[in-house]
Amino acid sequence: MKKDLLTLWDLTKEDIVAIIKRGEEIKKGSLKSVKPLDGHTVGLVFDKSSTRTRVSFEVAIHKLGGSAIFLTPSDTQIARGEPIKDTARVLSSYLDGLIYRTYAQEQLEEFARWSSIPVINALTDLCHPCQVLSDLMTVDENRGNLDSLMVAWIGDGNNVANSWINAANILKFNLTMACPEGYLPNPDILANTSSNVKLVSTPQEAAANANVIYTDVWASMGKEDESEQRIEDFNGWQVNQSLIDLADKDVMVMHCLPAHRGEEITDEVMEGPKSIIFAQAENKLYLHQAILEKYLKFKVT
């Protein structure tokens, strides 16, 4: 039976560790000389903009010998109202897998329900599981392990934050989140957290002794009309050098990108010695190959 990656809860702790390790092996050259996706076609349907996720998945598919077809809503009949359940069944008869970025998680789930091919979440308003998998690979690569990890999330309780909560619940590392009032993570996801996930009221409390400081834009895609209000509401929630100084001496500063320098993070910190932000972006290429390998069910040793 086909499997989907709709949230991190589709994976066990063992699955996540195996995907991270496989991403690291692929980075070191495993899969380099094989074309396991030869004759396979993977679709990418993106209802929102993307630089990293789209290009890294497309290159990953090409590197593995497959073909990628990129579609925006205006290229398809989805924008003209064709039901997802019809589109999903038709695309399933042409494609071997689908990478889907959209707004509502329910839309992604509806697509997965009606499709007979694996469906991978490339970001929804609710979560961004592939992002957090490549982030975890980057942490593991830099630190050597994920043991006793203390992660601080500072800023908007958005889709990436929700996936970090899922990851902390599955892997049991410590996650301390500082989000302004009114910008907390999804209440259902928060309601089901274990005691290793904590909410605090200031960025300073979250940053204290952290091994990772993570932030993201204050206005995610779809929230652009709230930008001005959010800049006011997030005053004091910037990741800057004085916050980094409170963290562990080997702290890793992370951001999924795109970033708004001068808002959620300073240019100094982004370009500074603690930043692993561009390694995170690079690792999407390897981690996405590991995801394709797992979900499209080929295995090359």
Cβ closest to ligand CP, residue 208 vs residue 257: 257
- Within 13 Å, how many C-alpha atoms sit on residue 179's CB side? 23
Per rule CB under 6 A, is residue 53 in the interface with ligand CP? yes
Cβ closest to ligand CP, residue 114 vs residue 164: 164
Q: Which of 102, 105, 138, 158 binds ligand NVA (CB under 6 A)?
A: 158
Lookup: tokens for 147: 């043991």
- Within 13 Å, how many C-alpha atoms sit on residue 290's CB side? 25
Nearest distance, CB of residue 79 and ligand CP, angstroms: 20
Q: Kindly indicate which of the ranges 101-109, 154-162, 172-180, 270-278 contains the residues binding ligand NVA, using the contact rule CB under 6 A.
A: 154-162
Q: Write out the binding residues for ligand NVA, residues 94-133 only, by CB under 6 A.
A: 123
Among ligand NVA, ligand CP, none, partner that 51 touches (CB below 5 to 8 angstroms by kind): ligand CP
Q: What percent of the chain is helix, strand and coil (3-state, nearest 5)?
A: 40, 15, 45
> Cα separations (Å) of 244 from 110, 215, 251, 266, 297?
42, 12, 8, 11, 42
Do you find a cis peptide bond into 258, omega within 30 degrees of 0? yes
Convert residues 245-264 into a mask of x (bound to ligand NVA by CB under 6 A) and - (unbound): -----------x--------
Lookup: tokens for 275: 């930043």
| Residue owning tokens 């990628």 | 68
Residue 185 CA to residue 158 CA, distance in Å, equals 6
Cβ closest to ligand CP, residue 78 vs residue 133: 133
Per rule CB under 6 A, is residue 256 in the interface with ligand CP? yes
Among ligand NVA, ligand CP, none, partner that 158 touches (CB below 5 to 8 angstroms by kind): ligand NVA
Q: Kindly indicate which of the ranges 51-59, 143-151, 178-186, 197-205 contains the residues binding ligand CP, using the contact rule CB under 6 A.
A: 51-59
Among ligand NVA, ligand CP, none, partner that 139 touches (CB below 5 to 8 angstroms by kind): none
| β strands within 28-149, DSSP E | 41-46, 67-71, 97-101, 119-121
Residue 148 CA to residue 137 CA, distance in Å, equals 16
Find the length of the chain. Answer: 301
Lookup: tokens for 36: 């396991």
Per rule CB under 6 A, is residue 175 in the interface with ligand NVA? no
Per rule CB under 6 A, is residue 220 in the interface with ligand NVA? yes
Q: Write out the binding residues for ligand CP, residues 115-144 only, by CB under 6 A.
A: 123, 131
Q: Rule CB under 6 A: which residues touch ligand CP?
A: 50-54, 123, 131, 256-257
